[in-house]
């Protein structure tokens, strides 16, 4: 009897489960993330307020650029700090150019070229405290088109939000914060290049925009090379856009050539027709992040592995670049986690993990390390006329390397990193 009752009870439970429980078997997955809502402003308003507050805090430094006695420091996606460096021991913030979406700087004469998201601005900086936008080339960098035609993003409203997401077994789709740049564009040159560029300035080694003659060359995204005619800064004009390679990160001008550093190697482009660069050579290396610079005879490439770079190489490759159409490996040197680099004469500086390493590069096949400068996580350097500018997330440091074996610290301009 009891067995029958037991079976009846089980039957009731099973029936109950079959009818009622299916509704209770819905799984729930909640996702909490930070959403950034763009704040748009009319371009006309932005242009009219480009002269910002000189005391604008430096919170997220990007590219560095020097021209004459000024340091131009990109405030990532916000504008450009202008720092009077007449006395490198006491740099003074002199002006701030409000340029939303700015990541790149290039200067020729008194004209500063800067990107504003997808647009390129030509700015007269004759009076650095009262600059004027003299022309805008719309859609010069089309892949950074975050704004609308007559508006640009000037800020973000941060908002934490929780949503229900569809249940699934795989990893949930992850979206980067809205507004996160998926590539950067920056100005670049080197001390070696600067001397051949007349009145252009000097930038760090991680640039993706550079000035050569009457043309500005831009990597708008990791596979293309855009050429913009800047011979008349008041009439900027598209010149050409070509498919240039894969995973291109940096651009460097040398001897009427462009070296494009990519995660797979170095592409060499001829500027015989400056309006339309043509590929003349290529050097392949293992996958890694790869800024490249060159002098008249050799090219120097740092390979950096890591989460965003892939690969496993951490090294400096010295390439024989006398014939740029046939670049070949000269020697490879192990490094810790190298990033930007710069060279002035026979002195080579490499940002490498916790230090900036200083080498005597008189014989590139046998580099001799002279000393190290303890600047942690330095990401780029400019070395020019015995003045070394080192950019790191915590500040801008300047050194005198008149005696490369005994480098003297001159100043430190602090950067208070923002949380984004």
Partner 1 sequence: MTKHILTGFLCVLCVAACFGQQAATLTRHSWRFRSDNYGGLSIGQMGSYGQVRTVNGLSRGPWFVGLGAGLDYYRYRNVPLFLSATRDLLTDKRSGLFLILDGGGDLPWYKREPQPYQNLTSTFRAGPYWNTGLGYRWRLTDAGRRALLFSATYGMKRLSERQTTVGGCYDPPACTVNSGTAEFEYTDRTVRLGVGVEF
Residues near partner 1 (CB under 8 A): 2-3, 5-6, 9-10, 12-14, 16-17, 20-21, 24-34, 60-63, 76-77, 103, 165, 167, 169, 171-172, 174-177, 180-184, 186, 204, 206, 208, 249-250, 289, 307-308, 310, 339-340, 377, 379-380, 392-393, 417, 420
Of the pair 188, 398, the CB lying nearest partner 1 is at: 188
Of the pair 198, 393, the CB lying nearest partner 1 is at: 393
Least distance to partner 1 from the beta carbon of 326, Å? Answer: 27
Question: What is the rounded CA–CA span in Å between residue 239 and residue 336?
Answer: 41
3-class DSSP state of 111: strand
Instruction: Compute CA distances 1 → 9, 339, 417, whole Å.
Output: 12, 82, 78
Asked whether the beta carbons of 309 and 288 are under 8 A apart, the reply is yes
Question: What is the rounded CA–CA span in Å between residue 319 and residue 331?
Answer: 7
In 3D space, the residue among 221, 208, 225 whose CA is nearest the CA of residue 279 turns out to be 225
Question: What is the rounded CA–CA span in Å between residue 241 and residue 224?
Answer: 7
Of the pair 22, 234, the CB lying nearest partner 1 is at: 22
Of the pair 83, 187, the CB lying nearest partner 1 is at: 187
3-class DSSP state of 9: helix
Least distance to partner 1 from the beta carbon of 30, Å? Answer: 4
Least distance to partner 1 from the beta carbon of 413, Å? Answer: 15
Least distance to partner 1 from the beta carbon of 83, Å? Answer: 17
Least distance to partner 1 from the beta carbon of 271, Å? Answer: 22
Of the pair 200, 208, the CB lying nearest partner 1 is at: 208
Of the pair 32, 243, the CB lying nearest partner 1 is at: 32
Least distance to partner 1 from the beta carbon of 376, Å? Answer: 12
Contacts of 87 (CB under 8 A, 6+ apart): none
Instruction: Work out the number of other CB atoms within 10 angstroms of the CB of residue 46.
Output: 20
Asked whether the beta carbons of 75 and 62 are under 8 A apart, the reply is yes
Distance of CA 209 to the CA centre of its chain: 10
Of the pair 5, 405, the CB lying nearest partner 1 is at: 5
Question: What is the rounded CA–CA span in Å between residue 271 and residue 99?
Answer: 30
Question: What is the rounded CA–CA span in Å between residue 18 and residue 206?
Answer: 64
3-class DSSP state of 172: coil
Of the pair 23, 405, the CB lying nearest partner 1 is at: 23
Question: What is the rounded CA–CA span in Å between residue 65 and residue 391?
Answer: 10
Structure tokens, 181:
């740049």
Least distance to partner 1 from the beta carbon of 76, Å? Answer: 5
Least distance to partner 1 from the beta carbon of 48, Å? Answer: 27
Distance of CA 40 to the CA centre of its chain: 24
3-class DSSP state of 393: coil
Of the pair 236, 350, the CB lying nearest partner 1 is at: 350
Instruction: Compute CA distances 31 → 37, 170, 384, whole Å.
Output: 18, 14, 50
Question: What is the rounded CA–CA span in Å between residue 312 and residue 327?
Answer: 23
Structure tokens, 16:
């109950």
Question: What is the rounded CA–CA span in Å between residue 216 and residue 104?
Answer: 12
Least distance to partner 1 from the beta carbon of 373, Å? Answer: 17
Least distance to partner 1 from the beta carbon of 13, Å? Answer: 5
Instruction: Work out the number of other CB atoms within 10 angstroms of the CB of residue 164.
Output: 9
Least distance to partner 1 from the beta carbon of 102, Å? Answer: 12
Of the pair 20, 405, the CB lying nearest partner 1 is at: 20
């Amino acid at each position: 009897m009891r067995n029958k009752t037991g079976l009846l009870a089980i039957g009731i439970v099973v029936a109950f489960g079959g009818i009622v429980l299916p509704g209770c078997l819905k799984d729930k997955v909640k996702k909490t993330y930070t959403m950034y809502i763009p704040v748009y402003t009319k371009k006309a308003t932005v242009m009219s307020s480009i002269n910002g507050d000189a005391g604008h805090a430096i919170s997220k430094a990007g590219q560095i650029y020097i021209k004459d006695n000024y340091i131009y420091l990109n405030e990532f996606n916000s504008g450009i700090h202008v720092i009077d460096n007449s006395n490198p021991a006491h740099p003074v913030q002199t002006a701030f150019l409000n340029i939303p979406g700015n990541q790149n700087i290039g200067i020729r004469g008194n004209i500063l070229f800067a990107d504003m998201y997808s647009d390129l601005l030509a700015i007269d900086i004759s009076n650095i405290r009262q600059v004027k936008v003299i022309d805008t080339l719309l859609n010069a960098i089309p892949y950074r088109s975050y704004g609308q035609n007559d508006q640009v993003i000037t800020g973000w409203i941060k908002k934490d939000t929780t949503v229900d997401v569809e249940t699934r077994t795989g990893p949930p789709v992850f979206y980067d914060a809205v507004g996160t740049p998926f590539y950067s564009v920056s100005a670049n040159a080197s001390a070696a290049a600067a001397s051949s560029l007349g009145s252009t300035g000097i930038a760090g080694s991680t640039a993706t925009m550079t000035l050569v003659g009457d043309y500005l060359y831009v990597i708008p995204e990791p596979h293309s090379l855009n050429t913009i005619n800047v011979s008349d800064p008041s009439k900027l004009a598209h010149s050409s856009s070509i498919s240039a390679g894969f995973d291109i990160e940096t651009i460097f001008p040398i001897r009427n050539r462009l070296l494009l550093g990519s995660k797979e190697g170095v592409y060499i482009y001829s500027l015989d027709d400056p309006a339309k660069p043509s590929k003349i050579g290529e050097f392949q290396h293992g996958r890694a992040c790869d800024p490249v610079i060159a002098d008249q005879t050799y090219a120097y490439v740092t390979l950096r592995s890591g989460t965003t770079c892939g690969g496993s190489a951490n090294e400096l490759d010295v390439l024989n670049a006398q014939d740029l159409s046939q670049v070949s490996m000269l020697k490879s040197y192990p490094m810790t986690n190298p990033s930007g680099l710069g060279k002035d004469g026979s002195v080579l500086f490499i940002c490498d993990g916790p230090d900036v390493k200083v080498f005597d590069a008189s014989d590139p096949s046998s580099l001799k390390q002279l000393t190290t400068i303890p600047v942690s996580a330095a990401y780029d350097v400019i070395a020019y006329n015995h003045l070394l500018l080192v950019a790191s997330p915590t500040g801008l440091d300047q050194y005198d390397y008149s005696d490369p074996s005994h480098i003297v610290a001159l100043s430190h301009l602090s950067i208070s990193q923002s949380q984004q």
